[in-house]
Amino acid sequence: MLNKLLQNKISIFVLIVFVALLAFIRLFEKQLFYDPFLAYFEGDYRTLPLPEFDNLKLFIGLLFRFFLNAVLSLAILYTLFRDKQMIEFVSVLYLFLFVVLIVFFFCLLHFFKSQENLLLFYVRRFLIQPLFLVVFIPAFYYQKLKN
């Protein structure tokens, strides 16, 4: 009984640490990542032209941020469910989603310019925020209940 209680306390502490790390990524985003769209989307982006940006630096910044969020999300999922097969599946899913979203993001940037700013905002949001974690936790919880 005491071991199980201690194990749950450790798991809860680990979860809090991982969530805090996700919060720190968000808190220090301006210092950690190259993203000229941070300031752009804080303003009146519907009427402003797109900011100047370096394609390679932007790609690397988005990749790095997505990677950090994905690793922490996978760690949270593993801490919650302790299922290696699920983590392998979600890892492949994260890779697939990154490729699809990053291609779509750069297509929007280069082919639609300022015409689709709201769509650009949401695609970028999925790249820079751990939104998939919000979908995966209830989905895998439901899956565990079914089994």
Hey, which bits of the chain come out as E strands?
Answer: none
* Residue 94 token pair: 């994260």
* Residue 63 token pair: 């990749």
* Residue 134 token pair: 């919000």
Q: Give pLDDT tens digits for 6-37.
A: 678 899 999 999 999 999 999 999 999 999 99
Number of domain units in the chain: 1
pLDDT at 46 over 80: no
Can you give the residue range of the structural domain that contains 43? 2-146
pLDDT of residue 136: 95
* Residue 90 token pair: 């979600």
How far, in Å, CA of 78 to CA of 93, rounded?
Answer: 15
